[in-house]
């Protein structure tokens, strides 16, 4: 027994040492790029705002590494580096389904358009183009599709799920307290279809995003926008041949023919392989954010649901993000701050904590907000105080409203499970918020007043930050969701632009020309991150294996169970199909 225990600890120490050596070598590793190479961009992993330092991202052992992702920041830097890299002759877009939102795809698409200024080629090929992958592919000099392949070109749709019937069967009553005609986050619990107000806002912002989608493809493919609308509306593209007929692709090719063209474009002999480097490998050559530089612009990444506490790389913890903003504010080398927001919102209290740090920072140095796929509700709350706000045309923002839901599960417990409750309390409101009984009218009034108070604070913060009247903010608020293009027209954002536009604006406001980008919050040491996250990766891996496509709903339930206090959250998850 002693021998087994001692052996276990020796093996554990050896494993830790091996992991440490691998991490150390991975951090210093550079990828060699040969002359006349092609940058291969499959983009087949989830794209997050900021890349991680994990050296085990390419390893899949029992689920560890199975959920690897790519950072948008790393992708953009790599495309820019490839533009001036003499060894890179072009980009090969190997696309099927892009695991990212429309605004993220917009950032990558703009970077590819800028890459084309170098007069290097971009070639796109796929067996199946989804709507989002085709949006990227359309920038290519040549867009090819497998002769038996599929190109989805049918327009946008947004589908919502409603739980009212299920809750009624379970005898669970959702007790809703909200402010905002359009604050439809509660609708799935109390209705069986969209309200007219909700249908109006979804129709509006979805139409705005689709119009932008068609405009950009029209410009790249030289096909009139009206023709593209007709092609999609009448489902004219049913086969690969149809896609070629209507000029959505330049040719129908098999993979071997694509490789032959890449050989021709790079001057490679037909009997030799094309020299290439994958994007995941090329990212390793990106310049690191270290060194002693006197002039800096700090980028604070705020991505995910907003909650109180520390949070992590996939959520916005008020303590962690506030500390990051505070550190950027007190660092004399930092001359401006760019807050990169990609969030559907969350806790109203946590949002206000972060908002306060933005206000304090704005007093001493410029603060610019760059919005990603989402900057709604709480995501807009933490943005509204900035000097200037940039959004993409297909960013989803606004949703200025608040809500709270307290389920009354008394009948569920009594009638379905045979469980009853009794209580003793020392004050009239000691058990306020209990799910084992319905709210009294007095309690409902108390909570409604609190929700109203928070909404008043929210609209006041927006009015002060955007230099509008509170009455006007209330009119465009009411929980309504807007596209970035719509938000520009009503004054919720200042400019349509990408992340680099926000950086340049920050430099202009700070009156600096030479500077270095530094990112906050500081990421964990790779070794600590590996051991902290490995258990979560394994659990996530087996959950995905068991639940399959239903895993997304499991995640939503988990997130809902973490809600605390009044929420400033986007009314629904938007999935464009």
Extract the tokens encoding 78: 């790599």
Rounded distance between C-alpha atoms, residue 470 and residue 457, angstroms: 10
Per the residue annotation, which of 120, 131, 178, 183 is the catalytic one? Answer: 183
Site of tokens 């995910």? 304
Give the number of other Cβ atoms within 10 Å of residue 109's Cβ. Answer: 19
Read off φ and ψ for residue 169, nearest 5 degrees: -65, -35
Alpha helices in 389-525 (DSSP H): 410-411, 441-466, 470-476, 484-490, 499-510
Per the residue annotation, which of 281, 377, 399, 485 is the catalytic one? Answer: 377
303 assigned to active site? no
Give the number of other Cβ atoms within 10 Å of residue 417's Cβ. Answer: 9
Extract the tokens encoding 424: 């003793």
Contact 403, 174 (CB under 8 A): no
Cα distances (Å, whole numbers) of residue 395 to 138, 204, 372, 476, 564: 20, 13, 6, 17, 27
Give the number of other Cβ atoms within 10 Å of residue 467's Cβ. Answer: 7
Rounded distance between C-alpha atoms, residue 236 and residue 508, angstroms: 48
Site of tokens 């009294």? 440
Rounded distance between C-alpha atoms, residue 86 and residue 82, angstroms: 8
Rounded distance between C-alpha atoms, residue 129 and residue 145, angstroms: 8
Question: In Å, how far from its chain's centre is CA 572?
Answer: 14
Rounded distance between C-alpha atoms, residue 125 and residue 253, angstroms: 8
Could you give the angle at the alpha carbon of 577 between the alpha carbons of 64 and 67, nearest 5°?
5
Contact 50, 311 (CB under 8 A): no
Contact 477, 400 (CB under 8 A): yes
List Cβ neighbours of 229 (8 Å cut-off, separation of 6 or more): 214
List Cβ neighbours of 262 (8 Å cut-off, separation of 6 or more): 38, 90, 92, 123, 268, 274
- Count CA atoms closer than 13 A to 522's CA, side-chain side: 7
Extract the tokens encoding 72: 């948008």
Task: Name the DSSP class of 220.
Answer: H
533 assigned to active site? no
Indicate which residues carry an active-site annotation. 183, 377
């Amino acid at each position: 027994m002693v021998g087994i225990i001692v052996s276990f600890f020796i093996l554990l120490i050896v494993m830790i040492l091996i992991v440490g050596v691998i991490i150390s070598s991975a951090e210093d590793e550079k990828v060699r790029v040969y002359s006349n190479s092609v940058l291969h961009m499959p983009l087949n992993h989830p794209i997050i705002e900021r890349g991680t330092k994990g050296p085990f991202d390419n390893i899949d052992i029992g689920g560890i590494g199975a959920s690897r992702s790519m950072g948008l920041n790393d992708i953009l830097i790599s495309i820019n580096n490839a533009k001036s890299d003499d060894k890179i002759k072009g980009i090969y877009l190997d696309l099927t389904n892009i695991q990212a939102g429309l605004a993220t795809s917009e950032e990558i698409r703009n970077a590819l358009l800028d890459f084309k200024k170098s007069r290097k080629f971009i070639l796109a090929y796929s067996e199946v183009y989804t709507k989002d992958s085709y949006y990227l592919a359309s920038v290519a000099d040549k867009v090819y599709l497998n002769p038996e392949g599929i190109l989805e070109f049918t327009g946008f749709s947004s589908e919502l799920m409603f739980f009212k019937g299920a809750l009624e069967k379970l005898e669970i009553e959702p007790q809703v307290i909200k402010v905002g005609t359009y604050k439809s986050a509660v609708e799935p619990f109390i209705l069986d279809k969209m309200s007219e107000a909700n249908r109006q806002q979804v129709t509006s912002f979805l139409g705005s995003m689709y119009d932008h989608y068609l405009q950009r493809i029209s410009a790249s493919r030289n096909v009139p926008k009206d023709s593209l609308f007709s092609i999609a509306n009448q489902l004219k593209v049913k086969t690969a041949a149809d896609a070629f007929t209507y000029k959505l692709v330049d040719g129908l090719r098999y993979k071997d023919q694509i490789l032959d063209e890449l050989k021709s474009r790079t001057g490679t002999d037909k009997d030799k392989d094309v020299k290439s480097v994958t994007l995941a490998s090329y990212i390793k050559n990106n310049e690191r954010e270290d060194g002693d530089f006197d002039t800096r612009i700090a980028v604070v990444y705020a991505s995910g649901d907003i909650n109180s506490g520390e949070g992590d790389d996939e959520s916005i913890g008020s303590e962690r993000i506030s500390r990051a903003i505070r550190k950027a504010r007190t660092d004399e080398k930092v001359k401006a701050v760019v807050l990169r927001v990609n969030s559907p919102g969350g806790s109203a209290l946590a949002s206000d904590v972060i908002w306060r740090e933005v206000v304090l920072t704005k007093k001493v140095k410029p603060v610019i907000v760059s919005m990603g796929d989402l900057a709604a509700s709480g995501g807009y709350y933490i943005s509204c105080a900035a000097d200037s706000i940039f959004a993409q045309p297909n960013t989803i923002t606004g949703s200025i409203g608040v809500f709270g839901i307290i389920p009354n599960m008394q009948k569920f417990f009594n009638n379905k499970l045979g469980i009853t409750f009794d209580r003793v309390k020392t004050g009239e409101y000691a058990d306020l918020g209990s799910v084992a009984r319905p709210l009294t009218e007095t309690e409902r009034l108390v909570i409604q007043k609190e929700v109203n108070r928070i909404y008043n604070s929210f609209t006041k913060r927006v009015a002060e930050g955007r230099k509008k009247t509170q009455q006007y903010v209330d009119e465009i608020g009411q929980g309504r969701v807007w596209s970035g293009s719509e938000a520009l027209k009503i004054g919720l954002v200042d400019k349509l632009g990408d992340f680099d536009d926000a950086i340049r604006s920050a430099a202009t406001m700070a009156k600096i020309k030479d500077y270095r980008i530094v990112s906050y919050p500081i990421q964990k040491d790779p070794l600590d991150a590996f051991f902290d996250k490995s258990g979560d990766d394994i659990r996530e891996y087996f959950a995905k294996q068991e639940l399959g496509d239903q895993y997304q709903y499991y995640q939503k339930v988990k997130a809902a169970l973490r809600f605390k206090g009044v929420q400033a959250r986007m009314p629904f998850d938007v999935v464009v199909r």
